Structure 1
Amino acid sequence: MRTDTPHLQPWQVITGGICGLVLTIGLARFAYTPLLPSLQAQTGLTDAAAGGLAAINYAGYMTGALAAAWIDDVRWRHRLYSGGLWMALVTVALMALSTWMPVWALARYVGGLCGATGMLLGSGLVLGWLMRQGRRPELGVHFIGLGLGIVVSAVGAWGLSQLWSVWSDQWLAFAVLGLVFLLPAWRWRPPVPPHVAVAAHEAAGATASRRWTWTMLTSYFAAGWGFVISATFTVAIVEREPALAGQGALAWAMVGLAAMPAVFLWDRVARRWGDKQALLLAFGLQTLSVVLPAVSGSLWAALAGALGYGATFIGIVSLTLALVGRRSPHNPGKAMARLTLSYGAAQMLAPVVAGYMAQATGTFKGALWLTAGVMLAGMALLATLPQED
Structure 2
Amino acid sequence: MRVAFAAAGAIASGVGLARFAYVPLFPAMVAAGWVDGGGAGLLGAGNFAGYLLGVLAGGRVGARLGVPRALDLGMGLAILAFAACAWPGGLGWLLSWRALAGAAGGILMALAGPAVQATVPVERRGLAGGIVMGGAGMGIVLAGLIVPLLLAGGGLPVAWLGLAVAVGLVWVVARRAWPDPPALPGEATARTVPAATALLSAYTLSAAGMVPPMVYLADLAVRGRGLPIEAAAAVWMGFGAGALAGTLTGGRVAGRIGGRRALPAWMAVQVLALALCLVPWWPALALAGPLGGFAGIGATAVTLAAAREIAGAQASVVWVRATALYGVAQVGLGFALAALFAATGDSHAAVFGVGLALSLGALAVAWHGRPG
Specify the TM-score bucket, using the shorter chain as the normaliser: 0.7 to 0.9
Q: Distance in 2 between matches of 1:282 and 1:197?
A: 30
Partner of 1:265: 249
Residue ranges of structure 2 left out of the alignment (5+ in a row): none
Q: Please, which of 4, 22, 27 is the counterpart of residue 12 of structure 2? A: 22
Q: Please, which of 338, 344, 347 is the counterpart of residue 321 of structure 2? A: 338
Write the letter of the residue equivalent to 1:150.
I
Q: CA deviation at 1:289?
A: 1.7
Write the letter of the residue equivalent to 1:235.
A
Count, aligned residues = 367
Q: Please, which of 207, 213, 218 is the counterpart of residue 201 of structure 2? A: 218
| SS state at 2:124 partner | coil
Q: CA deviation at 1:378?
A: 2.6
Contact 2:304 2:319 in 1 (8 A): yes
Write the letter of the residue equivalent to 2:156.
W
Partner of 1:83: 73
Q: Distance in 2 between matches of 1:364 and 1:40?
A: 15
Contact 2:203 2:362 in 1 (8 A): yes
User: CA 1:76/1:330 → structure 2, altered by over 3 Å: closer, same or farther?
Assistant: farther
Q: Please, which of 135, 140, 154 is the counterpart of residue 144 of structure 2? A: 154
User: CA 1:49/1:231 → structure 2, altered by over 3 Å: closer, same or farther?
Assistant: closer
Q: CA deviation at 1:256?
A: 0.6
| SS state at 1:73 partner | helix
Q: Please, which of 105, 115, 124 is the counterpart of residue 105 of structure 2? A: 115
Q: CA deviation at 1:61?
A: 0.9
Q: Please, which of 300, 309, 312 is the counterpart of residue 295 of structure 2? A: 312
Partner of 1:286: 270
Write the letter of the residue equivalent to 1:318.
A
User: CA 1:173/1:364 → structure 2, altered by over 3 Å: closer, same or farther?
Assistant: closer
Contact 2:242 2:290 in 1 (8 A): yes
Write the letter of the residue equivalent to 2:125.
P
Contact 2:24 2:219 in 1 (8 A): no
Write the letter of the residue equivalent to 1:266.
G
Q: CA deviation at 1:78?
A: 4.0
Q: CA deviation at 1:39?
A: 4.8
Contact 2:259 2:305 in 1 (8 A): no
Q: For each residue in 1:230-253, what CA deviation from the matched residue of structure 2 results, as whole angstroms up to 9, or x when unmatched?
A: 3234334433334x2433222211
Q: CA deviation at 1:223?
A: 0.6
Partner of 1:178: 167
Contact 2:55 2:110 in 1 (8 A): yes
| SS state at 1:165 partner | helix
User: CA 1:355/1:333 → structure 2, altered by over 3 Å: closer, same or farther?
Assistant: same
Alignment of 1:37-48 (within 5 A): 37-39=27-29, 44-48=34-38
1:32 aligns with 2:22: yes
Partner of 1:5: none
1:188 aligns with 2:188: no
Write the letter of the residue equivalent to 2:173.
P
Q: For each residue in 1:242-293, what CA deviation from the matched residue of structure 2 results, as whole angstroms up to 9, or x when unmatched?
A: 4x24332222111112222232222333244332221111111211222234
User: CA 1:166/1:334 → structure 2, altered by over 3 Å: closer, same or farther?
Assistant: same
Q: CA deviation at 1:385?
A: 3.4
Q: Which structure carries more helix by proportion?
A: 2
Partner of 1:128: 118
Q: For each residue in 1:17-51, what CA deviation from the matched residue of structure 2 results, as whole angstroms up to 9, or x when unmatched?
A: 11112222233223333345555555644444434
Q: Distance in 2 between matches of 1:303 and 1:48?
A: 25
* Structure number, greater radius of gyration: 1
TM-score, structure 1 normalization: 0.81
Partner of 1:385: 369
TM-score, structure 2 normalization: 0.84
| SS state at 1:222 partner | helix
Partner of 1:297: 280
Partner of 1:275: 259
Write the letter of the residue equivalent to 2:50.
G
Alignment of 1:95-114 (within 5 A): 95-96=85-86, 99=89, 103-114=93-104
Q: Distance in 2 between matches of 1:360 and 1:171?
A: 30
Q: Distance in 1 between matches of 2:303 and 2:245?
A: 18
Q: CA deviation at 1:85?
A: 1.7
Contact 2:14 2:75 in 1 (8 A): yes
| SS state at 1:322 partner | helix
Write the letter of the residue equivalent to 1:176.
V
Q: Distance in 1 between matches of 2:22 and 2:354?
A: 28
Q: Distance in 2 between matches of 1:297 and 1:106?
A: 35
Q: Distance in 1 between matches of 2:145 and 2:33?
A: 22
Partner of 1:232: 215
